[in-house]
Amino acid sequence: MNLKGTLPLLILRALESGPKHGYLIAAEIKANSKGVLDFREGALYPALHDRENKGLIQSYEEVENGRTRRYYRLTQKGKKALAKEREEWRALSGAVTMFLEEA
C-alpha cells in the first residue's frame, strides 16, 4: 500500500529512535508496517532532501567499514514537527475510522 503524502511523516518517525541512513529508514518503515507500507525506494531520497531543506532533519557523513554513508538525524524543529504531524494524523485517521464504521 502506498499512501501518498505519508512518507515525510514516516521518515520523521523512523528517525525518532536515532540517526539512520537511507536504506535503514526504508527497511524500518517496511518492517514496522509488516510490509503494508510499500514504496519505491528511489522516492525516499527526494523526500529526505526535502525534509533536510526544511530543517527538520540534518545529514552527515560517516565512514563505516571503509565506506562512506550519509546518515540523517532529527533536529529540534523536526521533533516538534513530528509531534504535530503525529497528532494531525491521529485525528485524521480516527475520524476516517469512525466514519467508516458508522457507515
Partner 1 sequence: MFDGLRSLTWKHADTIEQWVRKATRGLCQEARERIADEIREHYTQALQAALTAGAGHQEAARRALETLGSPRKARAGFLKTNLSVRQAWLLNQMTTWGGWKRRLYLFFLYLAGLCMMGPGRLHMEHHEAHFVFIGVSCILFLGMLLLASGCLALQRRGYIRLGISIGWTGYIVGAAVPLMVGAALWGREASFGLAWLIVIALLSAGLEHIAFFGKLRSKQTEP
- SS3 per-residue string spanning the chain: CCCCCCHHHHHHHHHCCCCEEHHHHHHHHHHHCCCCCCCCHHHHHHHHHHHHHCCCEEEEEEEECCEEEEEEEECHHHHHHHHHHHHHHHHHHHHHHHHHHHC
Count of positions on this chain that bind partner 1 (CB under 8 A): 21
Of the candidate spans 9-17, 18-26, 82-90, 92-100, the one that interacts with partner 1 by CB under 8 A turns out to be: 18-26
C-alpha cell at 76: 529540534
To partner 1, the closest distance from the beta carbon of 31 in angstroms equals 12
- Counting contacts by CB under 8 A, is residue 55 touching partner 1? yes
Taking the least distance from each CB to partner 1, the nearer of 34 and 40 is 40
Which of 16, 18, 23, 93 is the binder for partner 1 (CB under 8 A)?
23
- Counting contacts by CB under 8 A, is residue 49 touching partner 1? yes
Of the candidate spans 11-19, 41-49, 78-86, 89-97, the one that interacts with partner 1 by CB under 8 A turns out to be: 41-49
Handedness of CA 77, 80, 83, 88 (dihedral sign): negative
Under the rule (CB under 8 A), what is the footprint of partner 1?
21-23, 26, 40-43, 45-47, 49-50, 53-55, 66-70
